[in-house]
Every structure is written in C-alpha cells, then in structure tokens.
Structure 1
C-alpha cells in the first residue's frame, strides 16, 4: 500500500510545519499545504490528483474553511478538522471527526488510518 497523500489547510506556519512533520512520521506524503482557503480551492480545482485525505484548520486567517470541506466532500475525499474551538461553528459536518489543538499524535494516527481505509 502506498503512503496516503494528505492535504493540509492551516494558516499558522509553525503549526503547518509541525503537522507536516507528524504526518511524515506517520508515513504520509504531503499532497499540498495551504495557508489560505482560496489557494486550497484553486489546487483542488486544478488537474492535480485528489488527496487521500485532508486535515483542515477551521479558521484560516479569519475565513472559515468550510468551502474547502465541501469541495473535498463532493470529491469523496475524507477529512478531519483540527481546531481550538470546542464545537464547530457550523452545522452540516457533525459526521466529521474533530481533532483538538494542540494536536495529539494518537488522534492524528487514527485519522490517517481512516484516510488509508477510505482508499
């Protein structure tokens, strides 16, 4: 089985780098790492192969990440939210797992396993 390709949407550079390192430690490839919703959406709309999964911060520079989540859902790509919020500030994603920040490697490992199982 090949390494799952994971997309990251996170606006805090240090958090994004830490997440890239953690995912690498879990045997993942980084499909793309984006600090803005519009850049992530543009990449998803390009001719790049879709990722096997994604980790999405909820608040990206004051903009909510839900358009990216909807685009991933439409493509059948599993994803998780990573947030410091207690609950998601929007309905419609109750079935999506939420990882609490600061990220826990065990929770991330389970999410990656689900990405692998989904493909």
Structure 2
C-alpha cells in the first residue's frame, strides 16, 4: 500500500540536528521528497527559491536566535499549508498564525504524520 505522503514534497525547517534528521528519515520512509532540513530562515528561503513549491511544511518556531515566522508568512502568502513544532505556549504565537496546527515537543513520528495528512486533506495520490 502506498503512503498518502508518497510523492509529496515537504519542507522541513528545524535547527535541532537529531530531530531534523529523524523527520527527514521518517518522511523519506513514507515516500515523501524532503526539502531540507533547513536550520535557519535564510536556508529555508534559499530552498524555496531553488525548488518547486512544497506541498506542505513542518516548521520549528524557535530557530536559535530567530523565529520561523518570516518563512511561515511566505508559505501562507503562497497558500502552502504548514504546521508548527514547538515547545512554546500556544498564546505566544502571533495572532496571524494562531490557528495553525501545532505539534508540541516532544512528539513522535505518528504525531507529525497525522498532522501532515490532516494538512494535505488525507488524500492519497
């Protein structure tokens, strides 16, 4: 049986190396094409500039000394669905993104998979 994520292009923006690699391997194992992982806003924007638009994205809110909101704003403007991964309280997320799906750290592969399927409408290709 083919995974609903098979053939989907997913942008991963995560600055924690081990978590980023786990996300990449999980998504690849589900047949997705992974853009990144990018560990900062500049790298994420470079990936978006160089590749076809992703089908969805997984964005860590806190990228060290910067937050991911500029990437979220860009994706939102292009109509690309995304979810946040965070250890932050929901109330700290800017109002413009307050309704976005969130996966609270620590999380498991099944948590991310389920939220991505929700973002993508659960449609198998």
TM-score, scaled to structure 2: 0.82
Q: What does residue range 34-113 of structure 1 map to in structure 2 within 5 Å?
A: 34-44=38-48, 46-87=49-90, 89=92, 90-113=94-117
In structure 1, runs of 5+ residues without a counterpart are: none
| Distance (whole Å) between structure 2 residues aligned to residue 88 and residue 118 of structure 1 | 28
Deviation at 1:84, TM superposition (A): 1.1
Superposed CA RMSD in Å reads 2.0
Point out 4+ residue stretches in structure 1 off by more than 6 angstroms: none
Q: Quick check: 2:59–2:85 contact (8 Å CA) kept in 1?
A: yes
Give ranges in structure 2 of 5+ residues lacking alignment: none
Structure-1-length-normalised TM-score = 0.86
Q: CA deviation at 1:31?
A: 2.3
- Tell me the alpha carbon deviations over residues 52-101 of structure 1, each in whole angstroms, 9 at most, x when there is no partner: 10000001012010000000011111000001112252221122001011
Deviation at 1:22, TM superposition (A): 2.0
